[in-house]
Amino acid sequence: MGPSENMMGKDVKLALIVSDSAKAQAGAMLLRDSHPWVSSQEADVLVVLGGDGFLLHVLHELLDHDSIKPVYGMNLGTLGFLMNGPLEDGETIARRVAEAHPVPVRPLCMDAVTQNGSKFSYYAFNEVSLLRETRQTAKIEVRINGRVRMEELAGDGILLATPVGSTAYNLSAHGPILPLGSRMVAMTPLNPFRPRRWKGAILPESASVELRILEPGKRPVAAVADHKEVRDVAIVRISATAEKELTLLFDPGFTLEERIFAEQFQV
């Protein structure tokens, strides 16, 4: 049973989390007196005001807490693909949340080892990307489930995107859009020079990916998990993690899945 089904018959405690932008702060002024808000610790659902970037920031913060709560985003920022629209006249935030549909999202886990042996672990709800740091072309060996699938990918880099992130950087790099619930990951090359005609791959979420940097001293590469960057990497391992699954809430009629369908039929 999803969160929205559980919430229809009871008073749901809501917490308001607002970005620093002037637009979000102005929207919060109108909302604060319209509902008996509680703290984030007491809340059943977190209502987030801002744009996609701020929502991702909140999701990353939730990963560090034992109690992971559903998130309802309201677009008062620049981008709002992951957000719901503002309230219409006569609507209440409590009703919006009660009628919203839950969408589970699973992040990718990135484990990176640098050239000097330092280790870093970060999560990504959109994508993990490997990017060349200099004018020199990046050269990357691609291993999947312990087997070398590509001895050398030469280009600007490579990325792995979740279904949620498949419409972001991945789409700009001509990668495939993945339906929600597909439990797949898009692997997309960034301006590949060799093999020139390789368009990428669609992998099952269960796949374990290892990317090894070739000639790292001459061709340094940075790894980025959403907004966390690790420079001069030697090996990057990426896998999906069900243990960190979060829930986004969307208004009926124009869910995230519908937006993903709409992106595929734009002309």
Residues flagged as binding site for NAD(+): 52-53, 57, 126-127, 156, 164, 167-172
190 in Cβ contact with 154 (< 8 Å): no
Beta bridge partners of 235: 113, 212
Taking the C-alpha atoms of residue 211 and residue 118, their distance in angstroms, rounded to an integer, is 16
Hey, is 61 helix, strand or coil?
helix
* Residues in contact with 49: Cβ distance below 8 Å, sequence separation at least 6, in sequence order: 16, 17, 18, 19, 24, 27, 28, 31, 73, 74, 76
Q: Within 10 A of 17 (CB to CB), how many other CB atoms are there? A: 20
Note whether 56 and 227 are within 8 A (CB): yes
Longest pairwise C-alpha distance within the chain: 62
Within 8 A by CB and 6+ apart from 220, the residues are 115, 132, 133, 134, 136, 213, 231, 232
Set 52, 66, 226, 251: catalytic member:
52
Cis amide bond preceding 104, omega within 30: no
52 is catalytic: yes
φ, ψ of residue 170 to 5 degrees: the values are: -55, -45
By annotation, the residues acting in catalysis are: 52
